[in-house]
Amino acid sequence: MFLTVADHLKLLGFLSLSNRGGYQLYLLELPP
C-alpha cells in the first residue's frame, strides 16, 4: 500500500489524537 506524504501525516495525526505514544513517534520522525 503506497502512502503519500499527506496520507502519512494524516495517519500520524490520527495516532496523536488516539494515542499519546503515537504523538511521540511523530516527533521522532521530524527532522531536527
Q: Residues 12, 26: contact at Cβ < 8 Å?
A: yes
Instruction: Give 1-32 pLDDT, tens digit per residue.
Output: 677 888 888 877 776 666 665 556 666 666 65
Question: Residue 10 sits in which domain range?
Answer: 1-32
Q: What secondary structure letter does DSSP report for 30?
A: S
Q: Please state the pTM of the whole predicted model.
A: 0.38
Domain count, the chain: 1
8-state DSSP, 16: H
